[in-house]
Amino acid sequence: MTTVTEKFLSTKKIIVGTLIVCVFGMILVEKFYYYVRDHPCPDDTDGGVANPVPQSLQAANSHGDELRRRLPGALVIGIQKSGTGALLKMLNLHPDVKIALREVHFFDLDENYSRGMEWYRRQMPLSLPNQITIEKTPGYCDSDVTPERVRALNPDMKILVIVREPTTRAISQYVHILTNMQQRGVTYDSFENLAMKDGQVNADYKCIKRSIYVTYMARWLDFFPRNQIHIVNGDTLVSNPTTELKKVETFLGLKSAISRSNFYFNKTRGFYCMTDGTTRACLQRSKGRKHPEVNSTIIEQLHTYFRPYNTKFQELFGQEFNWS
Ligand code: A3P
């Protein structure tokens, strides 16, 4: 009798033990699965892929309807120092928008492009099927290889460009470089000395070149129809963010969700900051830096220099800006 009871008890112990091991095993497997899914490995490569773009983006994106990393449906391609950061952070207020938290440089850097589309996807945030993922890399706008590569990945990609009055943008870029130099203890010449050469505008200075939007933006029209490119007025984004964001919502096919109540003016910063109703946030201090006083004659020369390029840019994109 005792032996039967002992046998029964030991069988029961084995069954209970096995069940516990199975349950723990399943929990561990599940945890491992979610960890791997949610933690992309930035240094993973897909092994020198010659053409990282699949036949069909649809197929590439059809892994089910759950929370997962999706390729971007829209790109902010520039223009550096025009308010690209503000635009992205403000769009992030929208419930149907997910933003990549860093500039990925997938299309413009061969090293990243050769890592392949799966690598690119792994750099994206988790999103739901009704959400659009947006990535911002201002280096895309004037990269020769980028428009073609973007089209190869997704011919329906929505292209967002933010522009700003070109002379102010050039000074902003100068301040950006100057600050970086100062942080490294390196001296950097004055804006006047760099922007001018023998009394003429120095067309070779990178801050000047980047402000000639038409030179590189025209190329995007060879790869994307005009209605797939939306140009945000960076000066209006500063003075009246809601107006510009409403237009972007329409362009991206999003419901209207960002409103005046999402912004409050911060006197100390001199810019609008954001709120979702519970938390408040301004952009980081590197956005909205003080500009140096630039000689007014040079400013006038720069306006005159940029004017014909501005006219061409506005004609090409059929949009007017209130630039000097
Ligand atoms: P400045 O620092 O010259 O004022 P980017 O993000 O492309 O680098 O652009 C930086 C610029 O964004 C800033 O240039 C600033 O003028 C502009 N900007 C637009 N809206 C802003 C905001 N709400 N807060 C801070 N900067 C903003």
Cis amide prior to 229 (ω within 30 degrees): no
Q: What is the CA radius of gyration of the chain?
A: 26
Q: Which residue in this structure is represented by tokens 């930035």?
A: 42
- Would you state the structure tokens that stand for residue 27, as one six-digit string? 């929990």
Global model pTM greater than 0.85: no
Q: Which comes out higher in pLDDT, residue 177 or 1?
A: 177
Note the residue count of the chain.
324
Task: Measure 238 CA to ligand 1 centroid, in angstroms.
Answer: 8
**Inter-residue contact 91 to 162 (CB < 8 Å):** no
**Inter-residue contact 317 to 231 (CB < 8 Å):** yes
The atom number, within ligand 1, closest to the CA of 172 reads 3
CA-closest residue to ligand 1 atom 6: 85
Task: Measure 87 CA to ligand 1 centroid, in angstroms.
Answer: 9
In the chain, % of residues over pLDDT 90: 79
Ligand 1 lined by 288 (C-beta under 6 Å): yes
Residue 141, pLDDT > 50, answer yes
Q: Which residue in this structure is represented by tokens 């002992």?
A: 6
Whose CA is closest to 90, among 281, 322, 298? 281
Residue 305: φ, ψ to 5°: -65, -45
Ligand 1 lined by 232 (C-beta under 6 Å): no
**Inter-residue contact 107 to 199 (CB < 8 Å):** no
Task: Measure 26 CA to ligand 1 centroid, in angstroms.
Answer: 49
Can you give the pLDDT at residue 20?
Answer: 59
Can you give the pLDDT at residue 35?
Answer: 38
**Inter-residue contact 41 to 122 (CB < 8 Å):** yes
Residue 50's SS3 state is: coil
Residue-wise pLDDT tens digits, 50-108: 333 333 333 444 445 799 999 999 999 999 999 999 999 999 999 999 999 999 999 99
Which of 23-27, 154-158, 200-204 has the lowest average pLDDT? 23-27
**Inter-residue contact 298 to 201 (CB < 8 Å):** no
Residue 56's SS3 state is: coil
Distance CA 224, CA 161 (A): 13
Q: Which comes out higher in pLDDT, residue 14 or 298?
A: 298
**Residues near 19 by beta carbon (within 8 Å), at least 6 away in sequence:** none
Task: Measure 271 CA to ligand 1 centroid, in angstroms.
Answer: 9
Residue 30, pLDDT > 70, answer no
Best residue among 287, 290, 294 to mutate for probing ligand 1, ranked by most atoms within 8 Å of CB: 287
**Inter-residue contact 122 to 69 (CB < 8 Å):** yes
Average pLDDT over the chain, rounded to an integer: 87
Residue 164, pLDDT > 70, answer yes
CA-closest residue to ligand 1 atom 20: 238
Ligand 1 lined by 205 (C-beta under 6 Å): no
Residue 250: φ, ψ to 5°: -65, -45
Q: Which residue in this structure is represented by tokens 């391609």?
A: 77
Ligand 1 lined by 86 (C-beta under 6 Å): yes
Ligand 1 lined by 137 (C-beta under 6 Å): no
Ligand 1 lined by 85 (C-beta under 6 Å): yes
Task: Measure 84 CA to ligand 1 centroid, in angstroms.
Answer: 8
